Amino acid sequence: MKRVLLAISLMALTLAASPVFAQDRAGTSAAPELLIPVGAKYEAMGGAANAFVTGVDAIYWNPAGLDMASGTGGALFSYRQYIAGIGVDYLAVGGRLGFGSIALSLRSFDIGTINVTTENQPDGNGQQINPTFFIGGLTYSKKLTDRISVGGTINLIEESFGRVSSAGIGFDVGIQYENLVGINGLGMGVTVKNIGTEMKYGGSGLNVQAQIPTANVGLTYYQLQAASFQLPSVIDIGLGYRRALDEDNSVRVMGTFENNNYGIDEYRFGAEYNYLNTVFVRLGYLFSRTGVALSQNTGNVSIFNGTTAGAGIDLTKLTGLGISFSYAYVPAKYFGANNLFDLHIAF
């Protein structure tokens, strides 16, 4: 198992250092919605979730953590108030079976109504469209030993607006290792996400009316051929450490580096204070920069730079129902802050 972990980790590090994963091509990938994090619990900790995320929360961050959950299963209902009035709804449900854990997930994006514009009517032609973005996932995870777990997710991606649409398939794979190098409480996670098919738009919305200048046939229709684009592949490598201060109090700290094939690399840090497994206070920090050394104050940065915060309450001890709530506050440059809300149900 140690050799397997080492091989996967070295592969991820090699890919992260390769030219393919070292380019800044922001805005040129397909399905950028794949990179919008879901779940308040770990977004409050800056998204530094790779090493310790477990249960249905793990589906987005590291599918290997699905089978690391202490219970038999759970469900997550989450909403994110994203930028520009976009809403992100997320539903996941999963459970442990005899051969590992399986989960289903669904992400939908409420973009709202958009006025239709054309070359001849740039201010709008009176029509409106409602874009539909949808991601459905199937996750499998297996705990190989008491310390090592692996997992993978297959995502079906569908986008449509007006009379055009596109579809693709993406894969996530991950591994988690607890008590790394024999240190109790030290964990590691490695994830490769969004490896899959290219996406290309098609449909009657690409038909255009034109006249052949060399033939007397009047107006006819042509269909524009849209270009194909790759999915926004990323590699996450994370470390974390957790420690019980006494019977009632515990803390954990985490850090994750994300290498983005099409955008800006991100450095995420987070911490959580846990009181009686009932009340949780969370802080995080997001940092990103590309094109220059970290010590220089220039270069491109993500709009999600800065401090994140949140809290959670678990009502299991009070009600016995396995219900918990989480909230996260994520500031955004140029836009209003993102607010995330979670409802967890353990069973």
Rounded Cα distance, 242 and 124, in Å: 55
The set of residues, in sequence order, having a beta carbon less than 8 Å from that of 297 and lying 6+ positions away, is none
Question: Can you say how many angstroms the Cα of residue 16 is from the centroid of all Cα atoms in its chain?
Answer: 18
Domain-located, residue 221: no
For 301-347, how does the pLDDT look when each residue is reduced to its tens digit (9 = 90+)?
Answer: 788 889 999 999 999 988 888 999 999 999 998 888 999 999 999 98
DSSP state at residue 27: T
Is the CB of residue 50 less than 8 Å from the CB of residue 64? no
3-state percent helix, strand, coil for the chain, nearest multiple of 5: 15, 50, 35
The set of residues, in sequence order, having a beta carbon less than 8 Å from that of 124 and lying 6+ positions away, is 115, 116, 117
Domain-located, residue 208: no
Asked whether the predicted pLDDT for residue 245 surpasses 60, the reply is yes
Rounded Cα distance, 287 and 293, in Å: 13
For 101-158, how does the pLDDT look when each residue is reduced to its tens digit (9 = 90+)?
Answer: 999 999 999 998 988 888 788 888 888 899 999 999 999 999 999 899 999 999 999 9
The set of residues, in sequence order, having a beta carbon less than 8 Å from that of 204 and lying 6+ positions away, is 163, 164
Phi, psi of 123 (to 5 degrees): -90, 0
For 266-314, how does the pLDDT look when each residue is reduced to its tens digit (9 = 90+)?
Answer: 999 999 999 999 999 999 999 886 654 444 544 567 888 899 999 999 9
Asked whether the predicted pLDDT for residue 50 surpasses 50, the reply is yes
Tokens encoding 290: 């590309």
Domain-located, residue 205: no
Asked whether the predicted pLDDT for residue 18 surpasses 50, the reply is no
Rounded Cα distance, 257 and 189, in Å: 11
Three-state helix/strand/coil letters over 99-136? CEEEEEEEEEEECCCEECCCCCCCCCCCCEECCEEEEE
Averaged confidence pLDDT in the chain = 88
* CATH number (domain holding residue 46): 2.40.160.60
Domain boundaries, position 49? 2-200+227-346
Quote the strand ranges of 202-248, DSSP E.
207-211, 219-223, 228-229, 234-244
Residue 192: predicted pLDDT: 94
Residue 12: predicted pLDDT: 52
What radius of gyration, in Å, describes the C-alpha atoms of the chain?
22
Residue 9: predicted pLDDT: 54
Rounded Cα distance, 81 and 78, in Å: 10
Asked whether the predicted pLDDT for residue 177 surpasses 80, the reply is yes
Domain-located, residue 211: no
**Average pLDDT in the 195-209 region?**
89
- Host H or E run for residue 60: helix 58-61
Is the CB of residue 174 less than 8 Å from the CB of residue 258? no
Residue 140: predicted pLDDT: 98
Residue 164: predicted pLDDT: 93
- Amino acid letter, residue 220: T
For 110-119, how does the pLDDT look when each residue is reduced to its tens digit (9 = 90+)?
Answer: 998 988 888 7
Asked whether the CA dihedral 158, 201, 26, 123 is positive or negative, the reply is: negative
Number of domain units in the chain: 1
Domain-located, residue 216: no
Phi-psi region of 13 (alpha: psi -120 to 50; beta: other; left: phi over 0): alpha
Residue 22: predicted pLDDT: 44
Rounded Cα distance, 51 and 191, in Å: 10
Asked whether the CA dihedral 9, 13, 15, 16 is positive or negative, the reply is: positive
User: What confidence tier does 20 reach under pLDDT thresholds 50, 70, 90?
Assistant: very low
Domain-located, residue 215: no
Domain-located, residue 19: yes
User: What confidence tier does 17 reach under pLDDT thresholds 50, 70, 90?
Assistant: very low
- State how far the alpha carbon of 44 is from the alpha carbons of 47, 63, 106, 167, 295, in Å: 7, 19, 21, 31, 26
Domain-located, residue 207: no
Phi, psi of 75 (to 5 degrees): -135, 150
Residue 263: predicted pLDDT: 78
Asked whether the predicted pLDDT for residue 5 surpasses 60, the reply is no
Question: Hey, how many other C-beta atoms are within 10 angstroms of the C-beta on 333?
Answer: 11
Rounded Cα distance, 167 and 111, in Å: 18
